Amino acid sequence: MTTDRQERTQSCGKSFKTMCGGQALIEGIMMRGPRRQAVVVRKPDGQLEIQEKELKFLKDRYPILGWPLIRGVVNFGGAMYNGVKALMFSAEFFPEEEETQPSKFDQWLEKKLGSDKATSVITTLAVILGVAMSVGLFFLLPTLLGTAVTLMTPSMLARNLAESLLKIFIFVGYLALCSRMGEMKRVFSYHGAEHKTIFCYEAGLPLTVENVRIQPRHHPRCGTSFLFMVIAVSILVSTVVFALWPVHNVFLRFLAHLAMLPLIVGVSYEFNRWVGRHDGPVTRLLVAPGLWLQNFTTFEPDDSMIEVGIKALELVLPERRGEDAW
């Protein structure tokens, strides 16, 4: 750690907003800074396992991928890939009680591609499957269920309203269900540790367990808030599109949702960036639903979890002060 990093973690400074952020894992936290990523996992023996790497961005090679709207889709895809890979890494330290042999498909991939490339392929497939399940749950299912409205009225407005309410209901229900799963509670507690650590750093306080513990656990730039924003923007965009172009066929409506998805993610990302940079009555009102939803995905951490969050953040802080300003 450089002297400048030490100063920022040991002494007070001015408050600001950082682009550093992270993700809760199985008994661990992944943090990403402007140029570095760190995964810190608390192993069963209590020791910390650390994985660090320098980040490489596609926009550095292809500047167009850093343009507004486009960058949201690229960054979301990258975050999904890195998040799944970090989750798989953390899971390695907590094997299931019953050891299972790798599947024939896993063995075939490793034989043909080698261990590293096989892991990359499996991670990519996991991301694709995760996105497909999310699209099916939050877009296809509401579209299918929304057809029931056509049995009572041909109104496109009524159908759009029904699909919008279903999207919100399914999303909130999904988060509520996850929050009640015993194995997820510790993951969500690490999520709280991640938020509190970021808040402490943004407040300019030394990164100590005592300072982190007293911070709020709901953060306006959380991934939960972003996902809610995707749902909200999808409702607005689809309502406008289907009002101008009425589509009753379920298959065509779903294809239209898929076609709009990159725009929806891009707009949501830009909106999230704008809200994250401003404080005021309007922005506080806009982030309020996402903060409320974090009651399902963010729990209070214990001190050992906070220590993991602090270590992960310290490893990704930039060399020079201010490089990570939001």
- What one-letter code names the amino acid at 110? E
Nearest 10 degrees: CA dihedral of 271, 273, 277, 279? 40
pLDDT at 119: 66
pLDDT at 1: 45
Query: Which pair of structure tokens corresponds to residue 127?
Result: 């991301």
Judge whether 3 lies within some domain. no
Nearest 10 degrees: CA dihedral of 85, 88, 92, 98? -160
pLDDT at 131: 84
Number of domains in the chain: 1
**Across the beta sheet with 21-25, what order do the strands follow?**
21-25, 28-32, 36-42, 48-54
Taking a C-beta distance cutoff of 8 angstroms, is the pair 293, 172 a contact?
yes
Nearest to 7 by CA among 319, 303, 324: 319
pLDDT at 108: 53
Which residue positions in the chain have pLDDT lower than 70? 1-14, 96-119
Strands 21-25, 28-32: pairing is antiparallel
pLDDT at 53: 94
**pTM greater than 0.95:** no
Give residue 122's domain range.
Answer: 13-95+103-146+153-314
Angle of CA points 176, 284, 12, to nearest 5°: 100
Judge whether 275 lies within some domain. yes
Nearest to 203 by CA among 17, 19, 23, 34: 17
CA distances from residue 262 to 17, 94, 168, 258 in whole angstroms, order as listed: 27, 36, 19, 8
Judge whether 283 lies within some domain. yes
Judge whether 321 lies within some domain. no
pLDDT at 96: 63
- Residues 6 or more apart whose CB falls under 8 angstroms from that of 275 comprise 220, 283, 286, 287
Judge whether 79 lies within some domain. yes
Judge whether 4 lies within some domain. no
Judge whether 7 lies within some domain. no
Query: Which pair of structure tokens corresponds to residue 215?
Result: 């911070």
Helix (H) or strand (E) holding 31: strand 28-32
Proportion of the chain in helix, strand, coil states, percent, rounded to 5: 65, 10, 25
Judge whether 6 lies within some domain. no
